[in-house]
Structure 1
Amino acid sequence: MTGNGFDLHFGLPTAYKDFIIILSSLESISSYTFENIYLNSSNYTKIVSSYNKDISFNPESIENLEDLLKQNLWFRFFRSELEIESWIDFETKIEYVLKLIFSSVKYFQEKIFDLGSLKIGNRVSKSTLFNNNIEIIEVLNFFKIIEWNVESGELRLKEEFFIQKYGYNTGVNTEKIVKHLHTEFLGFREIFNLYFTIFVAPLYENLIDKSLDDRFKTINYHFTFNYTPTFNKMCGTKISTNYLHGQIGDGTNLVLGINDIPDNVINKIHYIPFTKYFQKLNGNTDFHFLNKIEKNTFSGYQFFFYGHSLDISDQEYINEVFDFIDKIKTIEIRKIIIVIHNIESKAKLLVNLINIRGKDDIVKKMKENILRFVLLDSEGLNYELNVNINRSITF
């Protein structure tokens, strides 16, 4: 089971910062060369040492992408949010924006229409409506929910977001606001897909060292939280990759959003289109996970997590693996192996697992050698990858 750290290990510019920096730099690039595109990426040194520079980019595709960047509200918002460090922070910020907008719209409905309907045109409010909370007003204004005059302090809900009857504004059309935000989010997903298609995918064919990392040839099933074919391209395995969040190239099935509906919110239905599970079901993305594994065909089961943060945002999958191990207590070999790049990274991953599974479960599994942390370049990993689990399935 591979996460973004797996792609980063091979020098691919798949970090959140790479996505933002490379796309943001396009408007100032005079020519689309290897250096101009990747120069400011977080992994530039490794990109240079790992991939040939004679990549030809399609100017028309990039120019079309630039047009989308200028128009899309979600991309422009994230570009301005400098404190976001990772894809996990990115997901948290999506949830933050949705909660802020939906709660503010509800508040707007209550305060403006608590005395009844208003004649069309009579819709001016003051920023004091939100207690001069600049953050709320800025976000509403940025996503074009309101019009705001900074000097006068006047703000107006945009006309298209009112429910209008008989010449009166009778309420706020929250459904239209949801549709507006979701349409923009689908545009952001298209940008996301194009970034990987234009700037990540060509690197596979321009790898300098063509030798494959064949240590993983013993793997029977591969699941990835990434959108990229890195495992098959770099490890040369013949098994099919199960893309849990969709695959680049088909922008309609990419899963990108919040893990679940936030607690203590009203009108939960408004959040559903932005959730990962809705997108998986709606886009027919591979959501079966361990149901794909043929049971009772092995005398052992080993699960390897490589390059995954083990963050609570993916607790559904992590719990499924741990629960699977708990259910096969009579099986001779049952292990969960966390592949780490260095000893320092173990602490953060261990904290995340304890947060998800609880102290008792993690302590028990580590004492029984069911849960192991092994270094990427170690004999320990080689040993685990070559344990004989008496496979009766041939790939």
Structure 2
Amino acid sequence: MNILIVGNGFDLSHYLPTKYDHFMDVMKAIEIKNTGEKVSDLSIHTVSEWMRLLGQMFEKRKGLEQPNYDMNFNELFSCIRDKWFIEKTEELYLTEQIKISFQDVLKLQYRLELNDWYQYFKNHVEEIKTWIDFEQKIEEVLSTLANCIVEIGQVKRTDELFEYFAHNQKDGHRINKRSFKILSTFNFVTLESYKANLPIAGGMSVANKMKERSNLNPKFCHGTNLENGFNPLGFLNYLYLQLEDFIEIFNLYLDLIVNEFQPKVQLTIDAQEWIRPNIIYSFNYTNTYARFYNSVKMEYLHGSHGAAQNIVLGVSDLEHENLKKLKAYGFTKYHQKLLKDTEYLFLDEFKNKISIHKKKIEYFEKDFGYIDVKERKFERQNLMENESKLDLNIYIWGHSLDVSDKDYIIDIFSLNDEIDRNVKVIVYYFDKNAKFLLLNNLLAILEKDKVELWMKKGWLIFKSNPNVVAINNIQPVDLT
């Protein structure tokens, strides 16, 4: 049986713009598009309210002349930093067909401006190069919040809370500048007016002079009142809903843009050992293999895009005890997978077969021990050598083998445990540096002895990525 496991590198091998950079650069182009229609203050409504109001507006305009604010491929990818990649995309696909309507442009603009996670990631666009980096930035926000919860809890009087947010002062207990900047992006901090006594000549003072200072946003306090104290669950819920809105923005990018790329010619995968997989386990949200090649059974481990999207986008686990106490599991991938009913069963058929086989061996040895009787010896040998075989070829294409998917990786490399069950894992890599990193990640998860054993036995093989070839083109697509 042949199993294909795909990560984002599979889509990138087909020159589909699914890198984190691609997504953010296209969103930037949409955000700065001058439509002349966007309301100056969007905070007066929620995202869902704005989507409803915009829908009503466009419904009323039906049949009337509409302004031409559609965005085509060139406009959408005008801010792209990955120029050489997009040039390859243009060679392979009918990019003239890529276009999103004015309605979708305007709706995305509203979503982008109102989404705190997007604004946060936009401010760190140079730091975040991959989707793994992206997950780490989510973790950074959660860790910052967890630390601040502890510190806020140490402020004895709520009317003195503003002093904690005076991060530019060195004396006393203050939030640090980095934490202040991070949480300010999520409306955690707001400006409040207060009456100040200002000194004047002669030792006198003028009371009731209004000034502004930073303080905790009352909407994240119990009863939206500062006097009632900080409500961490309320703020966590706000962060979670904002993350779900961000996921919907990403879903729209995949749906309206990436899914619309159609090859100019038929594509094929050029590799000597390549044969059609019987099943695909996908860490992607796209259905690229089915669109370009064959309809094969697909298991979407992290969900898929579309009208009924169930995309999983979060952290591997909660590191801070405070977050565990507050049950902030909605930010973890495993919670989202269970909540969104993704295909989270992975290689279960084969793991069950191994479990049954081990029990058979256990029962056999319990009943008969190691009696050197020819028939029994043959029966035991048959159990060990024949019934144990899984006969699997597992091809991994475009997955980083990062610790964020540690459980899946451990499952794969437990299939040849005590004995050779005829399981081979072929890991494709983009270049030598990618192979270096893949091996690094495996060593970190599985440790040296296991990786060495698998490679010495020929169970684990590294190979360069197959070529994606245009059938009517003699030359393969250059992947370097």
Shorter-chain TM-score tier:
0.7 to 0.9
Residue in 1 that maps onto 2:151: 107
Q: Which letter does structure 1 place at the counterpart of 2:430?
A: H
1:97 aligns with 2:97: no
Residue in 2 that maps onto 1:146: 189
After superposition, give the CA deviation of every residue in 1:202-232 in whole Å (9 maximum; x if it has no partner).
00xx211213337654311210100000121
1:38 aligns with 2:72: no
1:177 aligns with 2:235: yes
> 5+ unaligned residues in a row in structure 2: which ranges?
35-69, 193-210, 354-386, 468-480
- 3-state SS of 1:326 partner: coil
Question: CA–CA distance in 1 between the matches of 2:104 and 2:91?
Answer: 26
TM-score of the two chains, using structure 1 as the length reference: 0.85
Question: CA–CA distance in 1 between the matches of 2:135 and 2:434?
Answer: 22
Question: CA–CA distance in 2 between the matches of 1:209 and 1:292?
Answer: 37
Residue in 1 that maps onto 2:201: none
Q: Which letter does structure 2 place at the counterpart of 1:158?
A: N
Residue in 1 that maps onto 2:13: 9
By relative contact order (CA 8 Å, sep 6+), the higher-ranking structure is 2
> 5+ unaligned residues in a row in structure 1: which ranges?
379-395
Question: CA–CA distance in 2 between the matches of 1:233 and 1:357?
Answer: 34
Instruction: Give yes or no for contact 2:30–2:108 (8 Å, CA) kept in 1.
Output: no
How far the C-alpha of 1:172 sits from its partner, in A, is 1.5
Residue in 2 that maps onto 1:208: 264
Structure 1 residues 374 and 35, CA gap change in structure 2 (3 angstroms): same
1:222 aligns with 2:280: yes
Structure 1 residues 28 and 180, CA gap change in structure 2 (3 angstroms): closer
Please, which moves more after superposition, 50-59 or 359-368? Answer: 50-59
Please, which moves more after superposition, 356-365 or 96-105? Answer: 96-105
| Within-5 A mapping of 1:276-355 | 276-292=333-349, 295=353, 299-326=390-417, 329-331=419-421, 333-355=422-444
Structure 1 runs of 4+ aligned residues shifted over 6 Å read none
After superposition, give the CA deviation of every residue in 1:104-139 in whole Å (9 maximum; x if it has no partner).
13311221xx25x65xxx753351465362111112
Residue in 2 that maps onto 1:54: 96
Question: CA–CA distance in 2 between the matches of 1:267 and 1:169?
Answer: 26
Residue in 1 that maps onto 2:373: none
Structure 1 residues 274 and 62, CA gap change in structure 2 (3 angstroms): same
After superposition, give the CA deviation of every residue in 1:228-264 in whole Å (9 maximum; x if it has no partner).
0012123x23321111110110465110000111155
RMSD: 2.6
| Within-5 A mapping of 1:136-285 | 136-148=179-191, 154-163=213-222, 169-203=227-261, 206-213=262-269, 216-234=274-292, 236-250=293-307, 252-265=309-322, 267-285=324-342
- 3-state SS of 2:417 partner: helix
Question: CA–CA distance in 1 between the matches of 2:308 and 2:141?
Answer: 23
- 3-state SS of 2:414 partner: helix
After superposition, give the CA deviation of every residue in 1:364-391 in whole Å (9 maximum; x if it has no partner).
111111111012249xxxxxxxxxxxxx
Instruction: Give yes or no for contact 2:30–2:76 (8 Å, CA) kept in 1.
Output: yes
TM-score of the two chains, using structure 2 as the length reference: 0.71
